[in-house]
Chains A and B, each alone.
Chain A
Amino acid sequence: MKTQAAILWEVGAPWSVEEIDLDPPGPGEVLVKLAASGMCHSDEHLVTGDLPFALPMIGGHEGAGVVMEVGVGVSWLAPGDHVVFGFIPSCGRCPSCSRGHQNLCDLGAKMGGGRQITDGTARHHARGQDLSLMCILGTFAHHTVVNEASCIKIDNDIPLDRACLTGCGVVTGWGSSVYAAEVAPGDTVAVAGVGGIGANALQGAKLAGAKRIIAIDPVEFKREKAMELGATHTASSMTEAVELIGQITWGQMANKVIMTMGVGSGELIGQAMALAGKRGRVVVTNLHPALESSVTMSGLDLTLYEKQLVGSLFGSGNPRADIPKLLNLYRDGLLDLDGLITRRYPLEGVNDGYQDMRDGKNIRGVLVYD
Chain B
Amino acid sequence: MKSKAAMIHGLNQEWSVEEIDIQAPKKNEVIVHWRAAGMCHSDEHLVTGDMVPPQEYWEFMGLKDFFPMIGGHEGAGVVVEVGPDVTDLAVGDHVSASFVPSCGRCRYCSTGRQNLCDLGSQTFIGGMITDGTHRHFQKNGEPVTLMAKLGTFSEYACVATNSLIKIDKDIPLEAAALVSCGVATGWGSATARAQTKPGDTVVVVGVGGIGMNAVQGAKMAGAKRIIAIDPVEFKREKAMEFGATHTFSSMAEALPAVMEMTWGQLADRVIMTPGVLHGEMMGEGMSLAGKGSTVVVTAISPMTSTTASINLFELAMWQKEVKGTIFGSLNPRADIPALLDMYRSGTLKLDELITKRYPLDQINEGYRAMRDGENIRGVIVNG
The CA-CA distance from A183 to B105 in the complex, in Å, is: 27
The CA-CA distance from A101 to B334 in the complex, in Å, is: 11
Given contacts A75-B27, A90-B110, A99-B331, contact A320 B105 (CB under 8 A): yes
Question: A-facing mask of B108-130, CB < 8 A → 1, else 0?
Answer: 01111110000000000000000
A80 CB to nearest chain B CB (Å): 19
The CA-CA distance from A241 to B316 in the complex, in Å, is: 44
Given contacts A92-B103, A318-B111, A321-B110, contact A99 B87 (CB under 8 A): no
Q: Is A250 engaged at the interface, CB distance under 8 Å to the other chain?
A: no
Instruction: Tell me which residues across on chain A come within 8 A of B107, comparing CB atoms.
Output: 320-321, 324
Q: Is A73 engaged at the interface, CB distance under 8 Å to the other chain?
A: yes
- Please determine whether B334 and A76 come into contact, CB atoms closer than 8 angstroms: no
B377 CB to nearest chain A CB (Å): 25
Please, which residue of chain B has its CB at the minimum distance from the CB of A95?
B334
B247 CB to nearest chain A CB (Å): 34
Please report whether the interface of chain B is mostly helix, strand, loop or mixed according to DSSP: loop
The CA-CA distance from A100 to B104 in the complex, in Å, is: 10
The CA-CA distance from A16 to B27 in the complex, in Å, is: 42
- Please determine whether B113 and A97 come into contact, CB atoms closer than 8 angstroms: no
- Please determine whether A100 and B112 come into contact, CB atoms closer than 8 angstroms: yes
The CA-CA distance from A90 to B113 in the complex, in Å, is: 15
The CA-CA distance from A98 to B115 in the complex, in Å, is: 10
- Please determine whether B87 and A28 come into contact, CB atoms closer than 8 angstroms: yes
Instruction: Tell me which residues across on chain A come within 8 A of B102, comparing CB atoms.
Output: 92, 98
Given contacts A101-B112, A320-B110, contact A72 B85 (CB under 8 A): yes
A146 CB to nearest chain B CB (Å): 16
- Please determine whether B105 and A27 come into contact, CB atoms closer than 8 angstroms: no
- Please determine whether A99 and B112 come into contact, CB atoms closer than 8 angstroms: yes
Instruction: Tell me which residues across on chain B come within 8 A of A320, comparing CB atoms.
Output: 105-107, 109-110
Q: Is A93 engaged at the interface, CB distance under 8 Å to the other chain?
A: yes
Q: Is B372 engaged at the interface, CB distance under 8 Å to the other chain?
A: no
The CA-CA distance from A73 to B27 in the complex, in Å, is: 8
B115 CB to nearest chain A CB (Å): 10
- Please determine whether A73 and B87 come into contact, CB atoms closer than 8 angstroms: yes
- Please determine whether A73 and B112 come into contact, CB atoms closer than 8 angstroms: no
Partner of A75 from B28, B111, B333 at Cβ < 8 Å = B28
Q: Is B332 engaged at the interface, CB distance under 8 Å to the other chain?
A: yes
Given contacts A98-B334, A100-B111, A318-B111, contact A93 B104 (CB under 8 A): yes
Query: What are the 8 closest A-B residue pairs judged by CB atoms, nearest first?
Result: A92-B104, A100-B112, A98-B334, A321-B110, A320-B110, A73-B85, A98-B333, A98-B331
16 other contacts beyond A95-B333, A99-B331, with CB at 8 A cut-off? Answer: A27-B87, A75-B27, A90-B104, A91-B104, A92-B104, A92-B109, A95-B334, A98-B104, A100-B110, A102-B110, A318-B111, A320-B105, A320-B106, A320-B107, A320-B109, A324-B107
